[in-house]
Amino acid sequence: TSVLVLNGPNLNLLGIRQPDIYGATTLPEVEQMCRSHGAAGGFDVTCAQSNHEGALVDAIHAAKGVHNGIVLNAGAYTHTSIALHDAILSTEMPVVELHLSNIHAREAFRHRSYIAPVAIGMICGFGVAGYSLALDALIGHLGGRT
């Protein structure tokens, strides 16, 4: 089983950006944690990040036939991107939506997600621990052993 962990805009600044909200762990540390979690659970994890909406669409397309599912933190595009919504629909890739922060406890503009209606489910509010939770949820959905 192979999973893509895909992070969107500004998540390259994890650990530096608003640490009160997003924590002190950097993106390379999160990605290493995801790969270790995969290795421990017997599945492959590939990580990617882009600040560009179209590049994220391309990454979802490219995941088809290569990975079995995606853990997606689409960052602010969560709240705006019909293109990402359509990319998930178009590829029929199983997606677990992830947010470090509890988007429902924040500004109203973060309450709507265009990813949610096309995701298996969402994990939010648990900081970087959410990545492991999302991986386990995805593997469970895919019929894996975790």
Closest CA to 100 of 76, 121, 122, 125: 125
Is 114 catalytic? The answer is: no
Provide the binding-site residues for ligand DQA, judged by CB under 6 A: 10, 73, 75-76, 78, 99-101, 103, 110
Q: Give 121-126's long-range contacts (Cβ < 8 A, gap of 24+).
A: 121/96, 121/97, 122/96, 122/97, 122/98, 123/96, 123/97, 123/98, 123/99, 124/97, 124/98, 124/99, 124/100, 125/99, 125/101, 126/100
* Among 77, 99, 114, 131, the one annotated catalytic: 99
CA angle 100–64–14, rounded 5-degree value? 20
Nearer to ligand DQA, 57 or 134 (CB): 134
Contact indicator for 98, 122 with CB cutoff of 8 Å: yes
52 is in an annotated binding site: no
Minimum distance from CB of 42 to ligand DQA (Å)? 27
Q: How far is the CB of 47 from ligand DQA (least distance, A)?
A: 15
Taking the least distance from each CB to ligand DQA, the nearer of 43 and 131 is 131
**52 is annotated as an active-site residue:** no
Of the residues 22, 77, 114, 131, which is catalytic? 22
Lookup: tokens for 19: 């640490």
Is 44 marked as binding a ligand? no
86 a known binding residue? Answer: yes
Comparing CB distances to ligand DQA, the nearer of 1 and 85 is 85
Going by the annotation, the residues of the binding site are 73, 79, 86, 100-101, 110
Active site residues: 22, 99
